[in-house]
Amino acid sequence: MLILKPLLLLAALLGPSPAQAVPFSVTLSPNDPALACHATSTPVLTFGPPPPGTRSLAVLLWDQRPGKLSGRWLVFDLPVKTTRLDAQNASRLRAGGGKAATNDAGQPGYTAICARGRHDIYVDVYALDVPSLGVPAGTPLRKVHALIHQHKLQEAKLHLVRVIP
């Protein structure tokens, strides 16, 4: 079971420009097949438009359970004009013109969520002030996440709740 919560949270170092007609945002369907246990493809995400000054984008999907936070997928060095990531093989280290990290499960790319119980799924899209983080595809997720925070202009967030019986 998935419950979609409000999908915009615009907390950032820089606020949205008054000229922006649409706020920086991210969407993920609660029925996306990639959210099923043992899925072998990545989620479909749409996002945009980033704030002025953005030079690249990064996307991070987290799974939070009581006492545990796990990074399931991180794509970075995405071209600034990227507005969508389509489904692809979950173990690929390239996505949408960007690079994928090795996730917290030690796997390249995306790993589906299978453990029983409540899962809070967070998707963060980051507008960055550099065209590249300067690390290769397959770099550990936590290392890339630290680099993202050094270059973050703004972030858009999505929160889904999933209960696996």
CA–CA distance, 44 with 26 (Å, rounded to integer): 11
Residues 9, 114, 143, 57, Cα dihedral to 10°: -40
Question: Where does the pLDDT of residue 2 fall: very low under 50, low under 70, confident under 90, or very high at 90 and above?
Answer: very low
Task: Say what percent of the chain tops pLDDT 70.
Answer: 87
Q: 46 phi and psi, to 5 degrees? A: -125, 145
Kindly report, residue by residue over 11-70, the tens digit of the pLDDT: 333 344 445 456 899 999 999 999 999 999 999 999 989 999 999 999 999 999 888 999
User: Residue 61's domain spans which residues?
Assistant: 2-164
Identify the pLDDT of residue 21: 53
pTM of the model: 0.85
Q: What is the mean pLDDT of residues 66-93?
A: 94
User: CATH number for the domain including 118?
Assistant: 3.90.280.10
Per the structure, the count of domains in the chain is 1
Which of the four pLDDT bands, split at 50, 70 and 90, describes residue 92? very high
